[in-house]
Structure 1
């Protein structure tokens, strides 16, 4: 193997006639496409085109857990604000077209996150092989930022996997595990990391990808979102250009992203992304002890979800509840979440096995000598929580952080039950814990700076996004969310159909309708939180009669379903544990 050239972002090596292009952005843990990287790739393609001895090209990354993260969003935001985005995207299209036009076979060897422009460069290759490492996630998330995949994503992906699957990938804007990516056709082969280069070379030896017949165009439903215009623009390109030339389709991509970049909503979505990244990193300069041992009090939906998540991130967990039935249901929920993670390729069976083994469940008092943080997740009743905190004050090490997962109750009131009130803080996770990134870090009147620092570090340690808020009823999220939910319930009570309410918000761009969200939260919990908020903020947060009087089927926590019935004769139906579905005028049991 001999090194023939090194650019500032990309290394070029020749290995027995195969050119290896290794992306390795200096002094950075991630590879991104900015103007300099695009110029480097263009330069490397010059050399490749001039070397008649080459038999193929393999694109790799030298980074530990990132292949290529996509376009440099700082560059995109600046260009969106100055009107320079069009020329940058056009240059990327030109360079990727050069890669796609090479006469020798090309293969992307993907390890780590491969997103946006990082995946689009692989679409310009003949073949794509990926490592089976959990860090390898593949997709086109641009629509979640108000943009579209405009370096060929909307053009080449439908030609590779068909319009229906391409629309799913692009409009959802999510990253897929390698297993799901393989099933969708985003990649050709999955191998272990140490076999990745050999697998890519084997693909090179197969030659250029055979020309395939155009896939039939499926009937894909048009997204009806008025809040974020990007899915609609992507949809038109995906469905309207399959019979046209690549050049025509790329021109539509370029026009669409240039126009979307000028919209305030797009620029705000990109800024929000940077704010989230800022909170993920934090700015604390003080070293804080890593959490290895935790306890969770309460094995309900939230408690079991928190315990599962902590154990999956390497934390040993004591899961405590007063009843064996509650623990049994909680552990079943933990098992289901782990099984789902394995099925989706998020973790291996061995990793799930290790995670399960980190949880010790008990319905009786258990020694907490080594516990560094306790998360209370019992029912949303102030007196119940106060009793728990009195017990924790006496039975936990004085250095342990005492946290509550309350949705709306006062942190300071709970801290009043603890000898050292400065160690009490709120850690408000959201349901389902395994999928919701946000955690509200709620600071009480007595909470110390050290406790805040430990809590923030802990939340980041377990790969969640912490947002610090002060102790006030509803904190931040529920103060914003509940007027919206309660108005939806009031509309329903006054005669608007559930279908119409939820569909209107889905069309606007919300991921879930407000009435379905109430059911996911639980009508009983919704009413409890609304009552707390009403005491502080008045009737704007008052639960509607239809919520307050709704029949409730508690059942098991993880299978609980609730029903609100609007009937003409005033008769309420008995509660049921069957799944809920929406119907005209009624939330019905399926």
Structure 2
């Protein structure tokens, strides 16, 4: 007869062989996470097992969706005391150290996602069995949160896999498949849902030799060689991340360089390093961003909207790429434009996208078959959602709506991909204006995660639900916005790009302007951004925003459009473009560059953000922050424009804007809405 003990989250069962089967099923949670309560119970169980002396221990999950998703990091949000953070991390490490010291064989059975702290717990076991899956389910993604493993992962990964596989796993934060994990020694056996218990029993009885890093990897871990490897690793990371902006990967390398995964010193060093990262602005902001992503996704709950067929009108860069993305994500799509010749470039781009994203030839053919050329607009009648993506002209858009509205089925929703025009101006002649929404993608569609869902005060909730459900289907992140010129993202980008034009007129080099923004943490500078978006698009948006917010439209844009210098798509804009890359002149000497360029570029965007929030364009500052990060690439480690202002100090932001206004003009005048921010 089996002996069973129940805890809140764990169930312990001892069989006649004195094998302990420990099941984790975290209550009131869809997935297993290592919260303080879960770890506290685990610690009590481990202490009791030290007295009971079982012959073997198997940890497995009671959740169908996986083993353990990771540690619960909510308790670290906003933490500023490094010593307190260190104590909490060490407590977790010590629980695992006590677990490791159990004399019996310990096995983790991984039936799905084992991430972060979940994988660290699995690595604390002597053996790991994976339940067969082709998905990438094992990973240490902490680096994406500005952190690194803190439950001994920086030590045990190297001990088990070796320096190179371990560093790749930790520095990239990417998950790997069971097959790959088996190849690098992270998994001992791949089993299935029927046989894993027998395999676990066999391992307990036979006690096979535990996995350890191959000889070459152990040699590379020797102190004389670590410096050479660390230098290479640092160079690789530096090519992708600025150490001042994202210190976590460099900290991991430094930990290994100094301690070589030596348990005597490395665990405490890991805890100290982790505590420092958690309490840094970068760590706090990236952890906050993680939770804001979940908040954004929560908008998808309890939505009932049936979307199978999408009709896109306008096969330009945006419309064509939206159609391709929809087909890639499983929707049936019809793409309409004036002629086959107008649609052909979009189909060509679609094929390139699918070749990159879909490796299986049969699946690629199926995806391509879901995108149909439709010059006559026959797909309108059966479409659940019609997306208009023609050029930015109010009359042209309204004329189009007049032609197609009667062809739509009663339940269909009409949406526009306009980047800046008021919905009220577009929907005025519609029979059902309350069913009209904005669904604004960003270029390039395949790379930028944000989609703005635009509504008016009287927009029907069912129409908004269709927009949200559509965004969910195509795996994007929705930002619900009130209709206003430029919405959120383009409204904030306007003064950012306009200031770049001011700087250029003053003689500041274009490369120096872009470098200042990149040094702040932007993915690209404003000049390169204008070229990438398209000079013609930037001109149209500038006209709309200029009229709405009393801004000057840069003369350069109209002159360049007249000369057909449209940026990247035409091969020349502010820069010349070769093979998709901007050819930039050499930057000026740093001592010749004004030290206020960064503030001149960034603070107008931050100032506009507070105005946008005050105008009620988005629901709260959190949503504005994550929307701007996803839509503009605003430096994620800065936390978004509102959080950046708080971290910098609102008083400092206001005084800096005042100084810039006195020096360069009223466009820098701080908004009165700053008084609402604490």
CA contact (8 A) 2:4 2:13 kept: yes
Pairwise mapping of residues 189-200 of structure 1 onto structure 2 (< 5 A)? Answer: 194=193, 197=196
Given that residues 165 and 184 in structure 1 are in contact (C-alpha distance below 8 angstroms), is that contact kept between their aligned partners in structure 2?
Answer: no
Cα separation, partners in 2 of 1:181 and 1:548, compared to 1, 3 Å: farther
291-300 or 105-114, which moves further after superposition? 105-114
CA distance 1:270–1:83, shift in 2 (3 Å): farther
Please show how residues 355-394 of structure 1 align to structure 2 within 5 Å. 355-394=367-406
Residue of structure 2 equivalent to 1:319:
335
* CA distance in 2 between partners of 1:188 and 1:583 (Å): 48
Instruction: Tell me if structure 2 keeps the 8 A contact 1:563–1:580.
Output: no
Q: In 1, are the aligned partners of 2:70 and 2:116 still within 8 Å (CA)?
A: yes
Of residues 443, 453, 456, the one that matches 2:468 is: 456
Match of residue 310 from structure 1: 326
Is 1:433 aligned to residue 432 of structure 2?
no
What is the match of residue 43 of structure 2? 42
Instruction: Find 2:298's aligned residue among 281, 288, 301.
Output: 281
Q: Is the 8 A contact 1:132 1:178 kept in 2?
A: no
Matched, 1:563 2:572: yes
Distance 2:197 2:127 in 1: 13
1:251 is paired with a residue of what secondary structure?
helix
Sort the Cα spacing of 1:150 and 1:419 in 2 relative to 1 into closer, same or farther, 3 A. same
Which residue is equivalent to 2:209?
Answer: 207
Distance in 1, matches of 2:190 and 2:358, equals 17
Aligned to 1:178: 177
- Deviation of 1:414 (Å): 1.8
| 1:372 Cα offset (Å) | 1.8
- Corresponding position of 1:406: 418
Larger fraction in strand: 1
Equivalent residues of 2:35, 2:72 under 8 A apart = yes
Q: More deviation in 331-340 or 9-18?
A: 9-18
My pick for the range that moved more, 575-584 or 450-459, is 575-584
Listed as ranges, the matches of 1:180-579 within 5 Å are 182=181, 185=184, 187-188=186-187, 194=193, 197=196, 201=200, 206-212=208-214, 213-215=218-220, 217=226, 218=229, 219=232, 220-221=234-235, 222=238, 223-227=241-245, 229-242=247-260, 245-264=262-281, 266-282=283-299, 288-343=304-359, 354-444=366-456, 447-488=459-500, 491=503, 496=508, 500-539=512-551, 542=554, 544=556, 548=560, 560=569, 562-564=571-573, 578-579=579-580
How far apart are 1:65 and its partner, in Å?
3.0
Find the residue that maps to 1:282 and give its secondary structure: helix
315-324 or 185-194: bigger deviation? 185-194
Matched-pair contact (CA < 8 Å) for 1:316–1:358: yes
Structure 1 residue aligned with 2:599: none
Paired positions, count: 567
State the distance in 1 between where 2:329 and 2:469 align: 14
Preserved contact between residue 61 and residue 111 of structure 2 (Cα < 8 Å): yes
Query: If you compute each CA radius of gyration, which structure gives the higher value, 1 or 2?
Result: 2
SS at match of 1:453: helix
User: Residue deviations 1:350-369, cap 9 Å, x none?
Assistant: 66555444333322221433
* Alpha carbons 1:86, 1:258 under 8 Å: kept: yes
Q: Which has the higher helix share?
A: 2
Shift of 1:71: 1.8
Deviation at 1:171, TM superposition (A): 4.8
CA apart distance, 1:96: 2.6
The question of whether the paired residues in 1 share the 8 Å contact of 2:311 and 2:379 is answered with: no
CA RMSD of aligned residues (A): 4.1
